[in-house]
Structure 1
Amino acid sequence: MDPRVHEHAEVLVDWSARIEAGDDVVLSVGPDAHELAVAVAETIGERGANLLTTYGSGEIERAYQRAHDGDFDEPSHELALFEAADVYLRIGGGRNTSATADVPAETRQAYRNARTNLREARYDTRWVSTVHPTRSLAQQANMAYEEYADFVYDAVLRDWESLADEMAKLKDRLDEGSEVRLVGPGTDLTMSIEGRTAVNSAASVAYDSHNLPSGEVFTAPYDTDGQVTFDVPMTLQGQSVRDVTLNFEAGEVIGFDAAEGEDVIEEILETDEGARRLGELGIGMNRGIDRLTDNILFDEKMGDTVHLAVGRAYDACLPDGETGNESAVHVDMITDVSEDSRMEIDGEVVQENGTFVWE
């Protein structure tokens, strides 16, 4: 086994999820993530925690959803599992990144809506999502498998404490600010951040961060106005989406188009009322991610990118007792800010052409 697999497992268990003796852990394993799952299970055992493993397959989800009549009940048995868990770890690594592409849109929406309370229960655990390098992900990224494995470990096996110190500079600016403006090709967007708390997403639950790799600073904007163009191609709902433009007025999407995948964007925005509002503004700061791979886990963390998510806002960005944007979806889309772009906070430029003023 590649020794980096064990390093990945230790970072996930110790730095990211902070697993301790006696913790009840649910581990979801993708079909081709076996090696990392074995290393994670061994590490969890060494820490004296309790492990239950589940199997996460897009092909199984496709078979179930397509066969169902579409009137989904809340999965109370699965809900009980997560209500009793301390930690939820998800290791992605499927065989087909478009496995659910032919599930009807209305079926997907009904399935998501029926699982709203389940998602909230998962979010109440110390949850962390990561991936094991697989051949399907390498193919999606247009890389040789060995090249892709190097890419993944360069992004995951970081000095996370040093990166957290670097990202704290942007977090402080956002916490002190009231309004963010993004300007770039096809983009001139303003959004309020007053009263919000930015998250220094350093790949650990100790930082309110739940992805490995991470390397972004994000907050929960509102009162959005203007236009934004997402020029980074991506796969959403198993389908290709490219050059998406959203137009906002008084915080809500009032118009949209896309060069490819416009029907997917329409499906997402029609999920519920909250799907037409922003739940996240995120700024990528992980310079270990040096190319786009058509995988949101990596692409949204890449330096020289900014991403916005329609749908659910994360509680970590909100004042105690305040409810942010609620939705059954949280869908990220990315814009390249490496050229002819700038980000302002209260009229002061803090990033221009992908470079922060302190860099």
Structure 2
Amino acid sequence: MDDRVRSHAEVLVDWSARVEAGDQVVMDVAEGAHDLAVAVAAELGKRDATLLTTYGSSEVSRAFLRAGEDREFAGSDPELAMLEAADVYLRIGGGRNTTAHADVDGDRRMAARKAGTEAREARMATDWVSTVHPTRALAQQAGMAYEEYQDFVYDAVLRDWESLAEEMANMKDILDEGSEVRIEKERTDLTMSIEGRTAVNSAASVAYDSHNLPSGEVFTAPHATEGEVFFDVPMTIDAQRVQDVSLTFEGGEVVDFSAAQGEDAIADVLDTDEGARRLGELGIGMNRGIDRFTDSILFDEKMGDTVHLAVGRAYDACLPEGEAGNDSAVHVDMITDMSEDSRMFVDGEVVQRNGTFRWEDGFEAE
């Protein structure tokens, strides 16, 4: 086994999930993630945790979603009971086919999402972390040779997370003290309120209210969004290729949208429920170990020089205690490249120009 797989497992268990003796751990494993799952299981055993492993196959879920044309979807009581009993939930991604759900009807996907609301809430109440094992399918999706893709993944995952957390604290402080964010670039002029919100320094650990490995972003829960935004980074949503998406916001809601490719996928997302037309997240990518787009939201949204916005659910960690944020069965991120001819303002002051933050070498205020 590649020593980097063992290192990945150690980071996941110790830094990211903070697993302790006696923790009840559920590990959901994709078809191609066997090696990482084995390494994680060994680390969990060393820490005297309890492990239940489930099989998270997109091909299995496709078969289930497509069967029975007239049936209604219902929540799974066994899954709910399992998650309610768990302390930690680990999702080990890495499937064999990144577009396995391409022929699943959008209405069926939407119905399944809504039926899974209780289980999703229970999962998010755990110390949950999602990561991915490099597979040939993901390498192909990223347009890379397999060994090249392995190097890319481990450069993003095996970081000095403490140092990165210290750097990202600069952005968190700016957002916590600010009240309005504005993003300007070609085909984009968007303002949103962050008044009363708390930004998350997403340093790949539940100790930072961060649940992805790799991570490397600072995010918050905006509201009162106005203007237009153009997402120029291609991505896959519900197994459909999506490119050049434009959203127009009025009164905090999406009132118009278009896409050069995959417009039906965007429509399906926005029609999921009322909350799907409002923003749940503003995220600012800060992981310089991610140096190219790979058509994987887990990596692409963390890349330095990017900003991503998610329609749908807002994360409780960003909200004042007792306040309910935007609620939805979806949380779908879309990315805009900020590396050229762009500015991000907080309360009228430029904090990032052309991908460079004001505390970094090369920043130009004007």
Same fold (TM over 0.5): yes
Partner of 1:57: 57
Deviations 1:166-195 (A, max 9, x none): 000000000000000000011000000000
Runs of 4+ residues over 3 Å off in structure 1: none
| Shift of residue 73, structure 1, vs aligned partner | 1.2
* TM-score normalised per structure 1: 1.00
Partner of 2:230: 229
Secondary structure at the residue paired with 1:151?
Answer: helix
Q: Summarize the Cα distance change of 1:53–1:134 in structure 2 as closer, same or farther, 3 Å threshold.
A: same
- Note if contact 1:24-1:87 (Cα within 8 Å) is conserved in structure 2: yes
- Note if contact 1:177-1:194 (Cα within 8 Å) is conserved in structure 2: yes
Secondary structure at the residue paired with 1:302?
Answer: coil
| Shift of residue 351, structure 1, vs aligned partner | 0.2
Partner of 2:7: 7
Q: How many residues align?
A: 359
Let me know the Cα RMSD of the aligned residues: 0.5
Are 2:274 and 1:273 aligned?
yes
Partner of 1:160: 161
| Shift of residue 77, structure 1, vs aligned partner | 1.3
Are 2:125 and 1:124 aligned?
yes
- Partners of 1:77 and 1:87 in 2: CA distance: 17
Secondary structure at the residue paired with 1:137?
Answer: helix
Are 2:262 and 1:261 aligned?
yes
- Partners of 2:237 and 2:156 in 1: CA distance: 22
- Partners of 2:338 and 2:133 in 1: CA distance: 28
- Partners of 2:107 and 2:333 in 1: CA distance: 20
- Note if contact 1:201-1:214 (Cα within 8 Å) is conserved in structure 2: yes
Deviations 1:271-297 (A, max 9, x none): 000000000000000000000000000
Deviations 1:71-127 (A, max 9, x none): 111111110100000000000010000001110111001000001111000000000
Partner of 1:45: 45
* TM-score normalised per structure 2: 0.98
- Aligned residue type for 1:296: I
- Aligned residue type for 2:21: A
Are 2:345 and 1:344 aligned?
yes
Are 2:297 and 1:291 aligned?
no
Matched ranges for 1:1-359 at <5 A = 1-68=1-68, 69-359=70-360
- Aligned residue type for 1:248: F
- Partners of 2:264 and 2:228 in 1: CA distance: 19
- Note if contact 1:70-1:107 (Cα within 8 Å) is conserved in structure 2: no
- Partners of 2:179 and 2:276 in 1: CA distance: 23
- Partners of 1:73 and 1:225 in 2: CA distance: 36
- Partners of 1:93 and 1:180 in 2: CA distance: 35
- Partners of 1:320 and 1:76 in 2: CA distance: 29
- Partners of 1:107 and 1:131 in 2: CA distance: 26
- Note if contact 1:70-1:111 (Cα within 8 Å) is conserved in structure 2: no
| Shift of residue 70, structure 1, vs aligned partner | 4.1
- Aligned residue type for 1:354: G
- Partners of 2:260 and 2:91 in 1: CA distance: 32
- Aligned residue type for 2:124: Y
- Partners of 2:278 and 2:354 in 1: CA distance: 26
In the alignment, structure 1 segments of 5+ residues that lack a partner are none
- Partners of 1:34 and 1:67 in 2: CA distance: 27
Deviations 1:275-321 (A, max 9, x none): 00000000000000000000000000000000000000000000000
- Partners of 1:344 and 1:240 in 2: CA distance: 31
In the alignment, structure 2 segments of 5+ residues that lack a partner are 361-366
- Note if contact 1:70-1:110 (Cα within 8 Å) is conserved in structure 2: no
Deviations 1:122-181 (A, max 9, x none): 000000000000000000000000000000000000000000000000000000000000
- Partners of 2:44 and 2:253 in 1: CA distance: 44
- Aligned residue type for 1:220: A
Secondary structure at the residue paired with 2:212?
Answer: coil
Deviations 1:313-344 (A, max 9, x none): 00000000000000000000000000010000
Secondary structure at the residue paired with 2:191?
Answer: strand
